[in-house]
Amino acid sequence: MKFRTNLLLATVALTALTGPVAVAQETDDSQVDEGRKLSTVTVTAQRKEETLQDVPVTVTAFGADAVREARILGVGDVVVRTPGLNFDAFPSGQPRLAVRGIGSSDTGAGGDPSSAVFLDEIYLGRPAAVAFDAFDIERIEVLKGPQGTLYGRNVVGGAINVVPAAPVLGEFDASAEVTGGNYETMEGAGFINIPLADGTAAFRASGAIRKHDGYIDNKFTGGKLDDKDTRSMRLQMLVEPTDTLEFDLAFDVTTDRANGPAHHVVDVDSSDPLSGFWTIERDRDSSRAEFDGAQDRDTWGLRGEAKWTLPFGTLDYLVSNRELSYYLLFDFDGGNPTFNPISVVGGGDEDSTLFSQELRLNSLPSSPVSWVAGIYQYHADTTRESLLGIGIGGPPGYEILNQDAQVDSTAVYGDVTFPVSDRLSLIGGVRYTLDDKDFGMTTAQSQALFQVDEHYDITASESWDAVTWRAGADFDLSDEHMFYAMVSRGFKSGGFVEVPVNAEAAATPFDPEYATQYEIGQRGEFLNGSVIWNNTLYWMDYTDLQTEETIGLTTFTTNAGAATIRGYETAFQIAFSDNFLLGGTYAYTDATFDTFISGDNDYSGNRISRTPEHKLVLSPSYEYQFGSGALLKAALDYQYASKIFDDNSNVGTEFRDPTNFVDMRLIYESADGHWNASLWGKNITDEVTRTFQATFLGANFAAYNPPPTYGVTLRWNY
């Protein structure tokens, strides 16, 4: 029934879309009310400011208003609203992204993300380092496909760029908001912008505190699981002593404290002799864990940037140092000795230092040829302790893996957009990357309950290099219609296995992965800008992809032979009237292995794990303006994602049914714009789905999504 509803919604949306488009071909633009012209977000995905409609790559962007109104607070909220973007959400402190099927669940010290997050242009190279509060954010950009010829660290799948609001010279500004909701939700956030030194400097400070009670009752301990206590702060200083010189300094810090995460035994494998030890418990709202666990994270960063405008370009130096401390301990099976005779405990402890610096030279905004050239250096130093404990009818025996990894990456890159005519531009870029990794691992265990057949203390090192590139063109058919074609090559270096079975496996690196993406796209405005419709077709050849497998108690990273990923993405906005707007996105992703032999298993032809074939987001909104000038806005977000397999075998219990999520909001804004109130709700239809699954010891362990949440937010603007 849900599928039919989804199909109907999609059909209505596409019919509504193609209807106005067809009319646009026969109607004079002058007949359309100018007030219905849609605005577009300004982005810097190409190292220059341009509207989203002028960018010759696939970008999904959220402006400041969209971030605020939709309560986009972190990376998970970006994922549910972006076509072709998914992530492994377990645990919440280690989000691992996948763009168009390219992602990695590896959290070991010797691995890298395939798709990454950049905070204020700074690469967040560890999963647990992806911590930011989206308050006082100018925009969030999601780039699809290989990146690296324009800036920073290279990524093979895609990138999320989070751009904080910058200090503003010569202007005082401030805002504050408070939120209350169910599960004892209490939030406070605010910012202030202060002009200094006769308008040549400005200071901006923002911060947020967000807390809620646990979603899950622990019936064994009496505690709560999956709660939240997050505090974040960002301080920025901008100084412009002359018209050609600019200095930026920023500091940010985020602390997270939470219990959990909560796990459940949701299925058993009757063919496994251990399956009889488990009791299935699929109640999302309760747990019987032996202890409440901990998810503690502290991360902070210092960022400095100097820009010098020269007669022919802008010389830009960017440097950053980030620190991460992360601790995780949880009851993996979600039971206790009176409920499950087997006890499984998981956890980890990580400390990372991430340093990067970049020197680049950019063309001036007035230059007819747009170009950038740069040198980039990245260093990461990570120590990580992973723990797995298993007990059968008694205290658990523990296996501890201690990892120490140093990553050094150096790159040079350049990119140019050359206008051949007023309407046609050619685009080309190239990058050379050299990655060096030093890796060490020691093991310890208290009982022989594990597949690790020996204690060992190993060190290893390896280097990888690659030349990556992009080439393409964009053509403006008119001021409202643009077409583009792009071919891009991406690379992610190899690494070392997170949970090896022996010393030889620990010291043996897995290979780099490569992706070549072929993409054609269209950007169009119709009916005098009251309809925006963008479309993209792509094909990706993916070789040696790094993928995780679990055999017994061991989870390890290996290289699959090859995969083909092809798809279609569309995004539209329709202003049916001055008051009614419909926005939507849809992604079709066909991500399958061409060749993947793992031991005795042949996974060739299987779908890549955690990648839905269909993803649809519809966002209708309606505004009513009172005679006083006050504004009332009602909006809805509907998101559908088709089934996924959580394991590359595509069989067994690691399967997730299609999901349907609905969020809503009702916003009142005063006539002077100084006050607004928002009544909001997330997952208002109480959808229940599994956000993570893993199978071993005869059971399928899973985590669930949050229940319905709702609340009221009051905001004051200066």
Strands 614-625 and 675-682, sheet pairing: unpaired
Strands 601-602 and 42-43: what pairing?
unpaired
Q: 450 is written with which tokens?
A: 């594990």
Residue 239 has pLDDT above 90, yes or no: yes
State which H helix or E strand residue 6 sits in. Answer: helix 2-24
- Residues counted in the chain: 718
628-686 pLDDT, tens per residue? 999 999 999 999 999 998 888 888 778 899 999 999 999 999 999 999 999 999 999 99
Distance CA 253, CA 301 (A): 7
> What's residue 445's pLDDT?
66
State the CB neighbour count (10 A cutoff) for residue 572.
Answer: 23
What is the pLDDT averaged over residues 313-317? 96
C-alpha distances out from residue 551 to 89, 274, 530, 647, Å: 21, 15, 54, 11
Which backbone phi and psi does 182 adopt, to 5 degrees? -70, 170
Amino acid at the residue 34: E
- Name the β-bridge partners of 125: none
Count of beta carbons in the 10 Å neighbourhood of residue 185 = 17
In the predicted structure, residue 192 carries a pLDDT above the cut 90: yes
CA distance 152 to 552: 39
State how far the Cα of 289 lies from the Cα of 335, in Å rounded to an integer.
4
Distance CA(84)–CA(533), nearest Å, equals: 17
Tokens matching residue 130: 């992806």
pLDDT by residue (tens digit) across 62-106?
A: 999 889 988 998 888 888 888 888 877 677 777 778 888 888 777
Over residues 391-400, the pLDDT tens digits come to: 877 667 778 8
Residue from 616, 656, 608, 615 nearest 101 by CA: 608
The answer on pLDDT for 167 being more than 60 is: yes
Q: Are strands 216-218 and 286-287 parallel, antiparallel or unpaired?
A: parallel
| CA 50 – CA 484 distance, rounded (Å) | 15
Q: With a cut of 60, say whether residue 18 has pLDDT above it.
A: no
Residue 11 has pLDDT above 70, yes or no: no
Q: What is the pLDDT of residue 112?
A: 87
Three-state SS letters, 365-421: CCCCCEEEEEEEEEEEEEEEEEEEEEEECCCCEEEEEEEEEEEEEEEEEEEEEEECC
- The pLDDT > 90 percentage for the chain reads 58
Contact 134, 73 (CB under 8 A): yes
Strands 294-309 and 397-419: unpaired
- Taking each continuous run of H as one helix and of E as one strand, the counts in the chain are 4, 44
534-592 pLDDT, tens per residue?
999 999 999 888 776 665 555 667 777 889 999 999 999 999 999 999 999 999 999 99
HSE of 609, CA atoms in CB hemisphere, 13 A: 28
Residue 24, pLDDT > 60, answer: no
Taking Cα atoms as reference points, which of 707, 715, 641, 701 lies closest to residue 673?
715
Three-state DSSP class for 20?
helix
Q: Give residue limits of the domains in the chain.
A: 2-717
DSSP code of residue 38: P
Mean pLDDT estimate for the chain: 88
Residue reference for tokens 């601790």: 327
Question: What's the pLDDT at 446?
Answer: 56
pLDDT at 33 exceeding the cut of 60: no
Looking at the DSSP bridge assignments, the partners of residue 452 are none
Could you give the CA distance from residue 200 to residue 197 in angstroms, rounded to a whole number? 5
Query: What does the alpha-carbon distance between residue 418 and residue 424 come to, in Å, rounded to a whole number?
Result: 9
Residue 507 DSSP one-character state:
H
Is residue 587 within 8 A of residue 602, CB to CB? The reply is no
Tell me how far apart the alpha carbons of residues 8 and 14 are, in angstroms, rounded to a whole number. Answer: 10
Q: Cα–chain-centroid distance for residue 635?
A: 24
Write the pLDDT tens digit of every residue in 117-166: 999 999 999 988 988 888 999 999 999 989 888 878 988 889 999 999 99
| Over residues 286-294, mean pLDDT | 92
Confidence of residue 695 (pLDDT cuts 50, 70, 90): confident
Mean pLDDT value across residues 181-205:
96
Cis peptide before 91 (omega within 30 of 0): yes
Mean pLDDT score, 233-251: 96
pLDDT at 12: 37
The 10 Å CB-count burial string (b at 16+, else e) for 417-454 is beeeeeeebebbbbbbbebbbbbbbbbebeeebbebee
Confidence of residue 2 (pLDDT cuts 50, 70, 90): very low
pLDDT at 503 over 90: no
Residue pair 165/136 in contact by the 8 Å Cβ criterion: yes
- Nearest alpha-carbon partner for 115 in 135, 144, 83: 144
Class of domain 2-717: mainly beta
CA distance 144 to 353: 27
- Spatial separation of the C-alpha atoms in residues 472 and 125, rounded to whole Å: 29
Burial of 353 from C-beta contacts in 10 A (0-12 / 13-18 / 19+): middle
d(C-alpha 66, C-alpha 40), whole Å = 12
In terms of DSSP H, where are the helices of 154-294? none
User: Which range has the worst mean pLDDT, 395-404, 457-466, 518-527, 565-574?
Assistant: 395-404
CB atoms inside a 10 Å sphere around CB 312: 9
- Is residue 427 within 8 Å of residue 486, measured between CB atoms? yes
Query: Torsions phi, psi of 332, nearest 5?
Result: -65, -35
Phi, psi (5° rounding) for residue 338? -80, -10
Cβ neighbours, 10 Å, residue 600: 5
CA proximity to 466, closest of 407, 533, 513, 401: 513
Residue 498 in this model has a pLDDT that exceeds 50:
yes
